[in-house]
């Protein structure tokens, strides 16, 4: 039936253009498991660990650099491994895993030589997180767990030899972030204020009392944070937007309460800060404008960045370093080719190609992604990205692809969903609407309590821009997104029912009241800030109902494809169940896909492929793009 409907849509919108188009990029290449990915070099530089499928599931593999031989290390048979790290002694690897997407992460250790993985945090219903791994302390790491109280994470020192756990810092309440020093001591904490915003607390050592040294008001909270103590432990590196719009990088003295600006930009927040693993001082800093740009803080790092900038096109980042810091693994990403990895020798200033994440992509011509500027109806400039089909003439059908968060942002680079949409004949438009991060505090705070209103207006204005540019056919526009992006798709149907022809919602909340009420207990540390950005059910129930698509289902009339993981702790299954029931009760077409072994995102490749197969048929039926069975 899906195939028949897709063919009918093709006949309506021009079969001759599709016949003339190149062969479709297979979904298995775009959304299946990578061939190889996420490499990490061993502390001694002799081996490289990486993720690759074993029996169809992502596991950790080891490559011997001398013999060029590979062997699988872990034997996960569930959702696959997504995060792992070498432990400082190089004799074992740490990885994390949850159950079916419930986000109650356990930490596991497996010997480098192979064998059984040991669960280091075997506590039911507890979430463990890595806080600090330092090469100078090979026998211990710091972890966070909500073992004593599910609503807050305490800090434990984990002995890697014995597996013993020592509680070193108890969460005094509302602490959302811990800050360590070069001696791997917990000496800083960010604590949420009852009215929103946060206090920075520090102490001289782990036995001293905490002292409040700085306060970020609510308006600065999203663009400010303590990063790390300086190498001597006397000062702190901060992201700080007090007294300015964008977040600057500061070196700040808690005694004098004075700071020195190290880097700032008038339009964009300062981004990632890379510290040297030896002296814990700054090596390089990134500012993400339309694309990522690195600023070196040391002369030798400047030389390295100049060499790496000439090696390969696209954005690059340092993803792994050896103990002596001679070898780096460098990741290169651009918009129209697979992600590449190299091993860089800092002494010889030469590089060794390692692998690409999906070599089959090289057989196809991918689609360039172009940064664009879009002006909202009230004069706010938004950065976005457009990806255009290669065949035929515009205007094309378009899918507005909305990022999640919403306190996140879209970036330039290889994006499989954008490639898939362009390859199937759609314009893919991504826009950083107000509330997105990276563009200063005025921009992010302009989204406060604007879910379903001005944030949604920004998306509608982006559609109008694409139509005015002549690239989008106003009669063939869809909207698609995950999490907040899924909410935006539902909100678009409820609040602008004439703009879009269909919607695809992946685990998007339909009722903002129940979204807040069902938050995981450990999100309570940020509850005050969340309520000020979204709305408080206790005092603003009417506002939240007004912005919730579920209460406006009578206005919705476009068809939907909705997908949900049963174990999702963020957007729980009832959020999707209720809107599906409401749409079907009104006779609106609503395909509903439920994955019993997934959470907030689809980790299993077979589930991703099942979803994108359905989404491709759905979009082809309603917008007329190309479709592979």
- Positions annotated as catalytic residues are 483, 568, 600
SS3 percent helix, strand, coil of the chain, rounded to 5, is 25, 35, 45
* 484-495 helix and 454-468 helix, angle to the nearest 10 degrees: 80
* Rounded Cα gap, residues 305 and 440, in angstroms: 27
- State how beta strands 165-169 and 175-180 pair: unpaired
CA distances from 376 to 134, 173, 222, 260, 408 (A): 46, 40, 22, 35, 19
Residue 462 near residue 472 (C-beta atoms within 8 A): no
* Greatest alpha-carbon span in the chain: 75
Full DSSP string of 98-111: -STT----EEEEEE
Report the run of H or E that residue 72 belongs to, with start and end: strand 69-72
Residue 408: partners with Cβ closer than 8 Å, 6 or more residues away: 436, 437
* Rounded Cα gap, residues 224 and 242, in angstroms: 8
Q: Could you tell me how far CA 427 lies from the centroid of its own chain?
A: 23
Tokens 């944030």 sit on residue: 455
Residue 291: partners with Cβ closer than 8 Å, 6 or more residues away: 315, 371, 411, 412
Residue 438 near residue 288 (C-beta atoms within 8 A): yes
Q: What is the DSSP letter of 91?
A: S
Q: How many helices (H) and strands (E) does the chain have?
A: 14, 35
Residue 10 near residue 394 (C-beta atoms within 8 A): no
* Rounded Cα gap, residues 204 and 188, in angstroms: 9
Measured in degrees and rounded to the nearest 5, phi and psi for residue 280 equal: 60, 25
Q: Could you tell me how far CA 92 lies from the centroid of its own chain?
A: 27
* 2-13 helix and 605-623 helix, angle to the nearest 10 degrees: 40
| The pair of three-digit structure tokens given for residue 599, joined into one six-digit string | 């959470």
Measured in degrees and rounded to the nearest 5, phi and psi for residue 2 equal: -60, -45
* Rounded Cα gap, residues 154 and 175, in angstroms: 9
Report the run of H or E that residue 156 belongs to, with start and end: strand 154-159
């Amino acid at each position: 039936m899906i195939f028949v409907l897709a063919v009918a849509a093709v006949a309506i919108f021009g079969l001759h253009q599709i016949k003339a188009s190149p062969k479709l990029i297979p979904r298995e290449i775009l959304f299946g498991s990578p061939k190889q990915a996420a490499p990490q070099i061993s502390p001694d530089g002799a081996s490289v660990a990486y993720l690759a499928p074993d029996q169809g599931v992502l596991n950790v593999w080891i490559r011997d650099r001398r013999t060029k031989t590979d062997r699988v290390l872990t034997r996960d048979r569930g959702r696959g491994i997504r995060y792992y790290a070498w432990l400082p002694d190089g004799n074992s690897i740490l990885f994390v895993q949850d159950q079916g997407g419930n986000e109650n992460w356990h930490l596991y250790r497996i010997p480098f030589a192979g064998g059984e993985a040991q669960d280091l945090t075997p506590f039911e219903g507890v979430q463990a997180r890595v806080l600090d791994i330092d090469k100078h302390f090979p026998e211990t790491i710091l972890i966070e767990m909500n073992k004593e109280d599910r609503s807050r994470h305490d800090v434990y020192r984990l002995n890697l030899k014995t597996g013993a756990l020592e509680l070193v810092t108890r969460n005094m309440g509302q602490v959302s972030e811990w800050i360590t020093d070069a001696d791997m001591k917990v000496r800083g904490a960010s604590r949420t204020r009852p009215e929103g915003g946060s206090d920075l607390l520090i102490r001289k050592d782990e036995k001293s009392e905490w002292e409040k040294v700085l306060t970020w008001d609510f308006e600065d909270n999203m663009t400010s944070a303590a990063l790390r103590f300086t190498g001597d432990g006397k000062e702190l590196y901060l992201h700080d937007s007090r007294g300015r719009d964008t977040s600057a990088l500061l070196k700040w003295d808690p005694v004098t309460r004075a700071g020195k600006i190290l880097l700032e930009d008038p339009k964009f927040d300062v981004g990632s800060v890379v510290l040297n693993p030896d002296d814990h001082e700054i090596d390089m800093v990134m500012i993400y404008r339309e694309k990522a740009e690195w600023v070196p803080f040391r002369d030798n790092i400047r030389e390295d960045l100049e060499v790496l900038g000439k090696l390969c096109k696209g954005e690059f980042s340092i993803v792994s370093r050896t103990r002596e810091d001679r070898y780096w693994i460098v990741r290169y990403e651009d918009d129209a080719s697979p992600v590449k990895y190299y091993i860089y020798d800092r002494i010889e200033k030469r590089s060794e190609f390692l692998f690409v994440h999906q070599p089959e992509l090289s057989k196809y011509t991918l689609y360039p992604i172009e940064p664009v500027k879009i002006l909202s109806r009230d004069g706010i400039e938004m950065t976005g990205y457009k990806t255009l089909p290669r065949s035929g003439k515009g205007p094309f059908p378009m899918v507005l692809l909305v990022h999640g968060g919403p306190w996140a942002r879209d970036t330039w680079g290889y994006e499989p969903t954008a490639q898939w949409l362009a390859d199937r004949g759609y314009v893919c438009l991504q826009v950083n609407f107000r509330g997105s991060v990276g563009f200063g505090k005025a921009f992010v705070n302009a989204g406060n309590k604007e879910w379903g209103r001005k944030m949604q207006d920004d998306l509608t204005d982006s559609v109008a821009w694409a139509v005015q540019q002549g690239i989008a056919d106003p009669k063939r526009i869809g909207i698609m997104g995950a999490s907040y992006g899924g909410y935006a798709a539902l909100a678009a149907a409820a609040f602008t029912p004439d703009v879009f022809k269909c919607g695809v919602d992946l685990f998007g909340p339909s009722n903002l009241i129940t979204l807040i009420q069902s938050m995981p207990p450990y999100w309570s540390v940020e509850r005050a800030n969340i309520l000020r950005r979204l709305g408080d059910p206790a005092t603003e129930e009417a506002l939240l109902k007004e912005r919730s698509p579920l209460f406006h289902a009578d206005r919705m009339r476009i068809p939907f494809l909705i997908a949900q993981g049963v174990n999702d702790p963020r957007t729980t299954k009832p959020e999707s169940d209720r809107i599906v029931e409401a749409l079907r009760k009104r006779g609106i077409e609503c395909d509903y896909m439920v994955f019993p072994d997934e959470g907030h995102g689809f980790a299993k490749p077979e589930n991703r492929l099942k979803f994108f197969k359905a989404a491709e048929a759905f979009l082809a039926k309603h917008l007329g793009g190309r479709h592979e069975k």
